[in-house]
Structures are given as C-alpha cells and as structure tokens.
C-alpha cells in the first residue's frame, strides 16, 4: 500500500481549527465588552507566548519530559531505525531523543517536518523487539508527516488561554467593571470556551491516533507488529505505580499510549482504546494481504 493523504484527518483538522478560532472571536468580543482594556494586555502577553511555544515547542517538550537528544554513537541502532523509516516515509530525519523512564512509551514533537523530534523511553527500548519498535517509531513519524504536532500545539494553546482566564480571572478587570459582574461574565465565558475547546481537541486527538496507526502500517508494511507493540505497552503501563503516572500524565496527548487516569480520564481520553486500535490494525493487515 502507498501513502495516501488522509482527507478525513485533514477535514477534521480544518474543522477543529475553524471552530476554535470562531469560538475565540466570540470569546474576545465578550471579554472586551465586559472586562475592558485589560484584554489587550492579555492578548499581547499570550500572543507573544504562543509564538515562543510554536517556535520552540520541540525544545520545550523534550525539556519538560526530561528527554535528551542522543547521537548516533550513543544509540546507533535507534538512529539507524529512524533514518531507515524516515526514508520510507519520505521525511527528513528528525532529531532522536531518549527519556530515562521505566514507562514504555514514545512521542513526537516539533512545529513542522523539518523541525521535529522523536523520543522514546528506555523502558520502550527494553520492552519491544525490533519489528515492534519499528512500528512505534513509524507511528510517531506518521504524526510528523500528518503535521499533527503543529495543529495540536496551536489548538491546545488556545484552550490554555481560556483555562488561565478561568483560573486567574480576578486579575483581569478594569474601570466600571471592577466591582461589577464583568469579571463573572468573563470567567463564565472562559469556562464555556475551555470546555468546548477541550472536547474538540480530544475528538481530533483520538482520530489522529487512528490515522497515525494506519500511516505506520503503510510505512512498515507490518500492521501486526504495531498491534503487538500496543498490547505490550498497554500491559506494561497498567503495572506502573500511580505516583509515576501522575508525574507524566500532563503529556498524555503526546504519548503513543495514554497513561491510565481513571474513569473520567478514559471518558475524555486523548487516545482511542488499545482494543479498538488493535482491531483496526488487524483489519488493515487483512486488507494488505489482499493486495
């Protein structure tokens, strides 16, 4: 099978970004009306922060996760695998990073295909065989090829703005509204915007995982290897102590398998269930065998 543009993913990306921007236009209007001039300082501050996050997203993410960029001398086999898979995916080779963690997982980050990084944990390298590792690496490269990180970074930042207004709404007031209900209106509007953004982003995130699984199958030609890797990783994640999970739960959207987070976490998960992903990969395996 050849790589085909995923128009379902592209359509969902466009629709999500359109709805988010429309939502934030209304949001800005409400804030300006009820809060006053403070919104312009707010917009200037977070506009600058958004540019910093966009241009340095890979560096910030790697640093936050404690992942370190490694050379080919340090991890020759990992570098060789990523270089080979990048060629098969028709992508520039991304930076390679390793995170010292017993939790088997992987993620990709970066603003575009030429400024991307793929990181794996030491636990992943110890858990998977070569075919399974190739499947996981190809999944992350599929995220890079689909430009998922750029879209999710922008979308998540917009949601973060609304959340911060909810959290620190008392600091944004001015003039006649300082003692009135303007702040309450702004906080309520921010809460509504944040909830809607939250749901839109997670719906998009779940679909992009299916798209990346399919992309990985096309790159490697072995859907069953990725299915096996997902089951192994999921089984190992279930054994991780809650303390370790809490330390890494903030980065769930980046991982190939989300860390367990209870009933509410599963309801609003950034990923579809492992069972559904494995079922789709097995179906894809049957389709590829028919070619």
279 as an active site residue: the answer is no
242/81 Cα distance (integer angstroms): 32
114/125 Cα distance (integer angstroms): 25
How far is CA 49 from each of CA 31, 43, 177, rounded to the nearest angstrom? 19, 10, 27
Out of 140, 209, 248, 285, which one is annotated catalytic?
Answer: 140
How far is CA 238 from each of CA 64, 67, 241, 257, 263, rounded to the nearest angstrom? 23, 22, 8, 11, 14
Active site positions, annotated: 140
């Amino acid at each position: 099978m050849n790589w085909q543009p995923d128009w379902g993913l592209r359509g969902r990306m466009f629709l999500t970004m359109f709805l988010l921007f429309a939502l934030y236009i209304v949001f800005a209007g409400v804030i300006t009306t009820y809060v006053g001039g403070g919104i312009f300082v707010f917009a200037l501050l977070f506009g600058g922060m958004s540019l910093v996050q966009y241009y340095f997203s890979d560096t910030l993410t790697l640093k936050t996760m404690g992942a370190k960029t490694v050379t080919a001398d340090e991890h020759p086999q990992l570098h060789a695998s990523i270089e080979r898979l990048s060629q098969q995916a028709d992508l520039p080779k991304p930076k390679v990073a390793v995170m010292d963690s017993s939790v088997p997982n992987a993620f990709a980050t970066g603003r575009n295909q030429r400024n991307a990084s793929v990181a794996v944990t030491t636990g992943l390298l110890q858990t998977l065989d070569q075919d399974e590792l190739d499947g996981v690496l190809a999944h992350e490269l599929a995220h890079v090829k689909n430009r998922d990180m750029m879209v999710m970074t922008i979308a998540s930042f917009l949601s973060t703005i609304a959340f911060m207004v909810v959290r620190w709404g008392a600091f944004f007031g001015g003039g006649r509204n300082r003692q009135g209900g303007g702040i309450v209106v702004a906080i309520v509007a921010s809460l509504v915007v944040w909830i809607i953004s939250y749901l839109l982003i997670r719906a998009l995130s779940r679909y992009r995982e299916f798209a990346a699984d399919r992309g990985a199958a096309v790159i490697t030609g072995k859907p069953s290897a990725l299915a096996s890797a997902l089951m192994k990783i999921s089984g190992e994640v279930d054994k991780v102590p809650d303390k370790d999970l809490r330390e890494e739960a903030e980065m769930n959207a980046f991982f190939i398998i989300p860390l367990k987070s209870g009933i509410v976490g599963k309801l609003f998960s950034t990923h579809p269930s492992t069972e559904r992903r494995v079922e789709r990969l097995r179906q894809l395996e049957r389709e590829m065998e028919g070619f």
